[in-house]
Chains A and B, each alone.
Chain A
């Protein structure tokens, strides 16, 4: 298997996970796809040195740093809004409401809080690993996670469909 074949196989195997992570950070399908492709592209230029090590960890690091770098730029700065501008129309199921409510709540988190919350609770990574990814201390990760969860609690009860629907900007008749 050549280096390129090897890499292509890795991309196909890790695409879904990486794209989900990217979506959790960007909360936008197009930006998530762009971020994932960018991360894989950057990985290719280091593929020779990381392929026999832990390319998944390196890829996660690239996604995180690329996202944080883009979030620091003014022109890519996110503009949190009170309600989601692109609320799905016609879906009245509680599941969709919960998803939209969580998405709205995640959008209110800072980029680092979003990374910390997702990696800690979705990918179940240790605080030390997340600290390495974010380039900060374990204490800072704890703080990002705690504040992120507090923000989610404050804005996202998603216990009842009505509350979730209200948060998503929709009324349930």
Chain B
């Protein structure tokens, strides 16, 4: 049988439709595959870039010395985005250095690590987070009894930055009211008001009456201060009038004023203003 098998196989395969130009469909396939390879490569490069960016944060943190450089009260923290080189820790700790004492709940030691802003605020800890129509916002506690609000591209509150270092005798809490506003023509209109502030460590919650309604939020302790707790919340309506702010202790009674509040230091003009330091 094998003698004529070759001829029969040839006969079996010879009656096929032949394309006019076999190179044309092949060329078309090659182009399709090249395009697919290019898009796949682009996706892979983008994914790799995101992975590297995500891994860079913890890696840079690991390079830092044990005690992060603290901002001096009243001054904006350093704005450089460059990683800090380890230096010998021979100087005594500054009063505004992050403390290691853990306060009773509510407590937050979740560090803000989003680069490059995290380099400017280092160290910064979340006090409150939320979402408004223009995007997410986060209130961060910084060294020096300061609060800053991080926002997305909407920038509806203008990233307010405030250091709570003015404590007349008997003041139980201090707060800042920032109405949502259109800072730029392209910014989205927002109908909300941000209230943030500081109270004594004895406080656990803060009761706020604004626009005729009562709101309660946590007074959060963070590693940046063992003398103050911080709070932040967004209430509805632009220009909502805050009628009162009352810090409450664990039993729901009015909390006392800070016993040993941080004091102000000479400041270069950014203290107490609603202008956040510009992150690198």
Interface residues of A (CB under 8 A from B): 4, 7-8, 11-12, 15-16, 19-21, 23-24, 29, 32-33, 36-38, 40-41, 44-45, 95, 98-99, 102-103, 106, 117-118, 121-122, 124, 149, 152-153, 158
CB proximity of A104 to chain B, nearest CB, Å = 10
- CB neighbours (8 Å) of A16 from chain B are 18
CB <8 Å contact, B8 and A23: no
B244-272 with Cβ < 8 A to chain A: none
Given A8-B27, A16-B18, A24–B12 Cβ distance below 8 Å?
yes
Return chain A residues, CB-CB under 8 Å to B6: 121-122, 124
Q: Which of A20, A21, A45, A158 contacts B14 (CB 8 A)?
A: A20
Docked pose: A96 CA to B264 CA in angstroms: 102
8 contacts between A and B (CB under 8 A): A21-B13, A102-B8, A102-B11, A106-B12, A117-B9, A118-B9, A121-B2, A153-B1
Is there a chain A Cβ closer than 8 Å to B5's Cβ? yes
Interface residues of B in 1-42 (CB under 8 A from A): 1-2, 5-6, 8-19, 21-23, 25-27, 29-30, 33
CB nearest neighbor in A for B33: A41
Instruction: State in angstroms the CA–CA spacing of A45 and B29 once bound together.
Output: 12
For the complex with contacts A15-B18, A102-B12, 6 further pairs of A-B residues with Cβ separation under 8 Å are: A19-B16, A23-B16, A24-B13, A99-B12, A149-B2, A152-B1
Q: Secondary structure of the A side of the interface? A: helix
Report B-chain residues with C-beta under 8 Å of the C-beta of A117: 5, 9
Q: Which residues of B contact A37 (CB under 8 A)?
A: 22, 25-26, 29
* Chain A neighbourhood of B15, CB < 8 A: 99
The answer to whether A23 and B13 touch (CB under 8 A), given A149-B1, A153-B1, is yes
The secondary structure that dominates the B interface is helix
Are A98 and B11 closer than 8 Å at their CB atoms? yes
Please determine whether B11 and A99 come into contact, CB atoms closer than 8 angstroms. Answer: yes
Residue of A nearest to B17 (CB): A29
CA distance A122 to B25 in the complex (A): 27
Given A41-B29, A121-B2, A149-B1, answer yes or no on A11-B13 (Cβ-Cβ < 8 Å).
no
Q: Which of B5, B12, B18, B27 has its CB near the most chain A CB atoms (within 10 A)?
A: B12
Contact A20 B1 (CB under 8 A): no
Instruction: Assess the A41–B26 pair: CB atoms within 8 A.
Output: yes
In the complex, residue of chain B having the shortest beta-carbon distance to the beta carbon of A9? B23
**Chain A's nearest CB lies how many Å from the CB of B4?**
9
Q: What's the nearest-Cβ distance from chain A to residue B228, in Å? A: 65
| A50→B34 CA distance, assembly (Å) | 19
Choose one: B9, B18, B33; the contact of A102 (CB below 8 Å).
Answer: B9
Give the docked Cα–Cα distance between A95 and B14 (Å): 12
In whole Å, how far is A146's beta carbon from the nearest beta carbon of chain B? 11
State A95–B11 Cα separation when bound (angstroms): 8
Q: Would you give the shortest CB distance from A27 to chain B, in whole angstroms?
A: 9
CB-defined contacts of B8 to chain A, threshold 8 Å: 98-99, 102, 158
Q: Are B16 and A20 in contact (CB under 8 A)?
A: yes
B22 touches A15 (CB 8 A): yes
Q: Which residues of A contact B27 (CB under 8 A)?
A: 4, 8
Docked pose: A11 CA to B25 CA in angstroms: 11
Cβ-neighbour of B13 out of A8, A20, A33, A158 (below 8 A): A20
Q: What residues of chain B lie closer than 8 Å to A106, measured between beta carbons?
A: 12
Determine if B29 and A24 form an interchain contact, defined as CB atoms under 8 angstroms apart.
no
Which residues on the A side are within 8 Å of B16 (C-beta)?
19-20, 23, 29, 32
Interfacial chain B residues near A40, Cβ < 8 Å: 22, 26, 29
